[in-house]
Amino acid sequence: MDEKSYYSRLLIVLLMVLCFGVIVLQYICPTSDCQLLHLVSLSSRLGSRAPGNRMNGAGAGDPYSSEDGALVRFVPRFNFTSKDLNRAVDFNIKGDDVIVFLHIQKTGGTTFGRHLVRNIQLERPCECHAGQKKCTCYRPGKRDTWLFSRFSTGWSCGLHADWTELTNCVPSFMVSRESQERRRTPRNYYYITILRDPVWRYLSEWRHVQRGATWKASKHMCDSRLPTVSELPSCYTGDDWSGCSLEEFMVCPYNLANNRQTRMLADLSLVGCYNLSVMSESQRWAMLLESAKRNLRNMAFFGLTEYQRKTQYLFEHTFRLSFITPFTQLNGTRAASVEVEPETQRRIRELNQWDVELYEYARDLFLQRFQYARQQERREARQRRLQERRKLRARVKSWWGVTGKAVFKPTKEPPMTEQSPAFLEEKQADAGQTLESETEGQVNWLEDDDSETILDYLENVEQWR
């Protein structure tokens, strides 16, 4: 037999063995469970997606993994409780819950408001028609809205209503739209808002006012009354303040653009509303700042204009709702196109010192919430992987007939004594079995896939690959 014929027959034999092995594998593992044995380690790298997350267009498993690396240099400044950081709520869109959007001027709230009515995956999407600013956002099977915002209910509580106005107006407004039978059931209101860097927000408002925009229709309702002209004087005498320079915008002492975010998030009733004679200015703003921090901390959700993708993630994580298309970070705003000298920026920060402090507090809380949510998501993914491994090991044992239970069959043998050979053999076997079990106990902690310590180590290693 020549060498070529020998190798041909050997190749045929190997192919037959391979085919036989495939047949046997399909017999003992008819489903895709065997493939999962190899995919478990791969899934640990990809991570598991929490409710609200989706596969992106590129096919990556976690569309927010790139956001984790941006926090490498983040050092928390404030100590928050787990209650402050864990803001996932049980929002029931089919029940009676309502999301209330507090829209602060020039924070990107218009873009976010459109996301709420046009970009959320819903069983019953909002009905938006061309040429109409408002959309109809009804619950599934009901003619009842789940969203209170500019693009759903309009400015029903006043133009750019603040915290004080909304908390006093929204419940009564919703009750007025309900039937007598429905009014007996209390609602859950989840307040949300968007904040922005104070300097760029201030510049954006100046450019907006410079083009002729005003907010004359704002009510500023507080303690059931409107502010007087002396309490809230105007910075301009004409119909608007169009064409004003940045210097003119900054020197007006009554300009509501100064520290607007702090004022709109605070409870104004604590300081006598717009009556500045109740207390000193420093005491007034200190109380407003603490109130704004407290309200912001207790809100169901808030986002930051400078962190669009993290804002999307935290909203989805909080309400268990998913957006259809991802948020985009737009840096080419009108405010960004303004060339401002460093000295002017310093003066703007001084004019908005309370907003600056509030934003630093909000940014720290926002990033800590993002980290907390991501860690919580990874823990849940790890628990799911542990459960998958246990199930797979149980299936493998069942495939090979390993049940872990010894079969005992009693026999009619004479009782053993300490001098009988059978007793001595059994004693030696018990000693050997004890030594073997002790040895196994010493190494099982290294081989056990369920070890939390090993999984935590592997999880950290996978993040930095």
Q: How far apart are CA 220 and CA 41, in angstroms?
A: 57
**In which element (H, E) is residue 57 found?**
none
Of the candidates 384, 319, 301, 379, the one whose C-alpha atom is nearest the C-alpha of residue 53 is 319
Nearest to 99 by CA among 168, 229, 188, 183: 188
- Interior/surface letters 128-157, b for 16+ CB within 10 angstroms, e for the rest: beeeeebbebbbeeeeebbbbbbbbbeebb
Residue whose C-alpha is closest to residue 120's, from 413, 320, 286: 320
As to burial, measured by CB atoms within 10 angstroms (0-12 exposed, 13-18 middle, 19+ buried), residue 271 is buried
**Given 103, 160, 220, 317, which residue is catalytic?**
160
Closest CA to 296 of 404, 231, 369, 236: 369
**Pairwise CA distance, residues 350 & 357, whole Å:** 11
Answer for the pair 16, 346: CB distance below 8 angstroms, yes or no. Answer: no
Spatial distance between the Cα atoms of 382 and 274, rounded to a whole number of angstroms: 53
CA proximity to 205, closest of 167, 163, 159, 258: 258
d(CA 177, CA 118): 23
Sheet holding 189-195, edge to edge: 147-148, 98-102, 189-195, 301-304
| Helix 281-298 and helix 353-399, axial crossing angle in degrees, nearest 10 | 20
Task: Report the alpha-carbon distance of residue 151 to residue 173 in Å, rounded.
Answer: 16
User: Rounded distance, CA 152 to CA 136, Å?
Assistant: 6
Whether 208 is a known active-site residue: answer no
Rounded CA separation 192/115 (Å): 13
Residue 358: closest CA among 366, 346, 369: 366
User: What are the φ and ψ backbone dihedral angles of 217, each rounded to 5 degrees?
Assistant: -75, -5
Which are the catalytic amino acids?
160
